[in-house]
Structure 1
């Protein structure tokens, strides 16, 4: 059985199924390179996992360039997962080679794949830095949630590989090599075992702030086509306190709901190509509200499945999604008024207006006034004509996307991207009685972190997922975390000390047996 296992190890790592007597050149260098690429691939996989919260942004920007909807981010995730799995498995086989003292002879095909993996990670990182650099702040934030658990994982990994380190120490030929190996290992061990002293996470606390309220981003776009009445109804079932949407003006100056703007603004979410031949590249001002409401605004959702969630819908829900139209702002105001839900929105083309009375703000404020909805249910976000809007529709709840502007205007309601504020800044703002809404928060780990930080509310695509959370996923009381940390460190140290003694004894027995076999037999 042992010989078969050794043969399999050799076959997978070096494609030599029979025992090799020769010592391959630069075998340790290739193992070091394999370790380096494995760490990079695993780190890149972590980055992709953390950035998944905003993956729809990547797909949307790709659509604007290619005019075709493809879930590019999922392709990147799959490739990254395959690469990380391949490198880690190959590294495990390499370490097992060392453990059973088989010669390391990495096959040339593995070497090619490793270079391709390194190139893939390098290009991915370069693209990330060039096109999506703000996402590094999300990665930085993630460590506040995951660092305590990553440290525990690092302790386990350190304990597992310690026996290989001790084996290398005992088999080293010179005293200098022995000292270097052990000194390096002790430094790394100290860093891993003591790093909780430097970990600062709002989720390691005794007192937990109230759960943030939920705001439906374009409704509930994981459960229904975005910015449709079905989507807003679905978000209402999640218990959202507000609808978030995007408002544009039609040719006949009627506000309607649509996120995409500019040329081809209808191409992604409607059947404009089939319904209005040759007009799919037109601007919003080229369509009347009546024309817009003849378009199908839901079939694309069932067909493209942008969030891989269509399979969770019933046949009736799919049929309903397939028959959605482009709603007007008046339609949504009726629903918000009926169910006492607030409304926050962006005006997509406000910067193109030439004056307040010709602006989207004016017609939107006029529509809100006519709807009869309570003014305090409108969270007014667009900054361009804020003071003019106050005169037309007083009593609106003013919301700001800039801290300095908010304080200068005497406001107390902030709406910002989640990564634009640190967890400490969120906590300080809440202490000053400032309401903080953060967008767009879809992943449980991120919602947990912002919950621990004290955010008032979050805008989300995943209201049905966040609604079900009764407590943050990453919350630990300080005493409990300290107990886990110290217990894990002590167990690790005891195991490593035992492995060190075992390897020392094993090496002594090995050398003793070698010496006995090398002693020549004396003639009688």
Structure 2
């Protein structure tokens, strides 16, 4: 057993300091500072990984922005997630190795290579946060929003971590100089009080009784089912029909010969990401929807990119037959989508990317309305979102349901349908709007935790890329009454306090016992009797 323990100690020491044979005899400076640095970078990496994970819902937005800059598509967000997970695991393991060495009473001697890795890791995290603040500001409100879904569980985890590290704190308290021991105790007490009492500040719409739980939000298919088929293609919308969606969401542009078709990317990115336009027209500069007729656009392949790029890492879920179907997809016209919607009695909501109008005949809005009329679809299934010429549309096609992206504009027009990004409204505001019988659709919602949160608050519907996953969610991931949560919170805190009190008393008795033995021998403590902190980490 002693040999196994020595081997384990040697392994931990080697991984931390690259000194495999015997404990370090060098007197490296600032071991406490380097331990603090490891702890700080570990906390930063955990926080950064948390931000990345809750931002996973918006990975398409980040990848899209980078595509706009680079004109080449790659799943950069997934790469960031993987690197962040590796960095966090590395930092946490290093911190555990350091704490284990403290238990074994060995000197902390962080190897210079670890110092370099930690330094660059800290730079990566700070750089990532700076980029997010500067480039991806629309996602920042998701962070406080996510805490309404995760804060209760983060608090439980913090209490568990506090209980585990209390043993090391008490060890330091018992063995360092008298002048510093009470400072440690005060700091630990302040941190403990903050963690124990932070539930007083936690608010969440999921603190709700089962009888008060709102109806499940309806699903709107964002460009079809883009996780299972190439976006804005017939296959994508047909796959979304099986999810029981209430509406198709898409993006409409007008071709050179005035035919509305479905395509999200526009301007300099037009057709580049989702078609083979470069291979089909290698000598032409195509930067606008007016550069091609719909016949030329429809001859492009709109599915091969999906199989090659695998934007959501979901191609492996498709059968060989489904992959072949995806490979043969083409750009869809608005009329084709309306025919499909009419067949299944599904609504259609769309954004309109308009070109400059040179005459009344080239009015994109008029072309859209004419196409809708030509399809003979029930006007009540058209959820009209484009703000331009809304008054004219109301007069020309009075049966359309008008949806607004701006709350003030909706109130001015005395309508009751709102469509906004999920983090633009507070949970309280959404609940107030629903109480006033205003339908609130929130986009784009892909993750279960976010869908569950919006379900609890009473969202009418959500626009999603993952309708095939959210359709099977039978209830929010968690919900409970605030009284139930309060009881759990008090029990967890009380258990932690009792465990820490027991650890403090046991270590105090052990410390007193060592002092008595030392007095009886008339000698000072040896390195094996006195914990590491008292010998090597004195202030």
- Smaller-chain TM-score range? over 0.9
Shifted more, 338-347 versus 385-394: the winner is 385-394
Work out the CA distance in 1 between the residues paired with 2:116 and 2:26: 23
In the other structure, the counterpart of 1:368 is: 372
Higher relative contact order (CA 8 A, sep 6+): 2
Query: How far has the Cα of 1:515 moved from its partner?
Result: 3.8
Query: How far has the Cα of 1:243 moved from its partner?
Result: 0.1
The structure 2 residue matched to 1:53, chosen from 48, 51, 57, is 57
How well do the aligned residues superpose, as a CA RMSD in angstroms? 1.4
Shifted more, 67-76 versus 211-220: the winner is 67-76
The structure-2 alpha-carbon separation of the partners of 1:151 and 1:519, relative to structure 1 and needing over 3 Å to count, comes to: closer
In the other structure, the counterpart of 2:74 is: 70
1:126 aligns with 2:130: yes
In the other structure, the counterpart of 2:495 is: 491
Shifted more, 11-20 versus 319-328: the winner is 11-20
Instruction: Give the alignment of 1:329-478 within 5 angstroms.
Output: 329-349=334-354, 352-353=356-357, 357-478=361-482
- State the Cα deviation string for residues 253-297 of structure 1 (Å, max 9, x = none): 010000011134111111112222223634211211111111110
The structure 2 residue matched to 1:248, chosen from 253, 268, 291, is 253
8 Å Cα contact 1:266/1:280 also seen in 2: no
Aligned length, in residue pairs: 518
Normalised by the length of structure 1, the TM-score is: 0.96
Shifted more, 216-225 versus 260-269: the winner is 260-269
SS, match of residue 41 in structure 1: helix
8 Å Cα contact 1:337/1:374 also seen in 2: yes
Unaligned runs of 5+ in 1: none
Work out the CA distance in 2 between the residues paired with 1:280 and 1:494: 72
In the other structure, the counterpart of 1:160 is: 164
Query: How far has the Cα of 1:518 moved from its partner?
Result: 4.4
Shifted more, 284-293 versus 137-146: the winner is 284-293
Work out the CA distance in 1 between the residues paired with 2:483 and 2:523: 60
Work out the CA distance in 2 between the residues paired with 1:371 and 1:382: 19
8 Å Cα contact 2:266/2:287 also seen in 1: no
Unaligned runs of 5+ in 2: 525-539
Work out the CA distance in 1 between the residues paired with 2:13 and 2:519: 28
1:222 aligns with 2:227: yes
Work out the CA distance in 2 between the residues paired with 1:241 and 1:58: 27
Query: How far has the Cα of 1:65 moved from its partner?
Result: 1.8
Work out the CA distance in 1 between the residues paired with 2:276 and 2:25: 69
Query: How far has the Cα of 1:361 moved from its partner?
Result: 1.0
Query: How far has the Cα of 1:20 moved from its partner?
Result: 2.9
8 Å Cα contact 1:441/1:458 also seen in 2: yes
Work out the CA distance in 1 between the residues paired with 2:494 and 2:94: 30
Query: How far has the Cα of 1:355 moved from its partner?
Result: 6.5
In the other structure, the counterpart of 1:257 is: 262
1:270 aligns with 2:295: no
SS, match of residue 349 in structure 2: strand
In the other structure, the counterpart of 1:481 is: 485
Query: How far has the Cα of 1:517 moved from its partner?
Result: 4.4
In the other structure, the counterpart of 1:186 is: 189
Query: How far has the Cα of 1:509 moved from its partner?
Result: 2.6
- State the Cα deviation string for residues 463-519 of structure 1 (Å, max 9, x = none): 011111011113222232122211111111111111111111222233334444444
- State the Cα deviation string for residues 110-134 of structure 1 (Å, max 9, x = none): 1111111111111111111110122
In the other structure, the counterpart of 1:233 is: 238
8 Å Cα contact 1:293/1:327 also seen in 2: yes
Work out the CA distance in 1 between the residues paired with 2:237 and 2:121: 43
- State the Cα deviation string for residues 43-80 of structure 1 (Å, max 9, x = none): 11111111111111111121222221111111111111
8 Å Cα contact 1:406/1:412 also seen in 2: yes
Work out the CA distance in 1 between the residues paired with 2:84 and 2:518: 46
The structure-2 alpha-carbon separation of the partners of 1:334 and 1:26, relative to structure 1 and needing over 3 Å to count, comes to: same
- State the Cα deviation string for residues 322-376 of structure 1 (Å, max 9, x = none): 00011100000001011000000000125x3356653211100111111111111
Work out the CA distance in 2 between the residues paired with 1:222 and 1:153: 33
Work out the CA distance in 1 between the residues paired with 2:397 and 2:228: 34
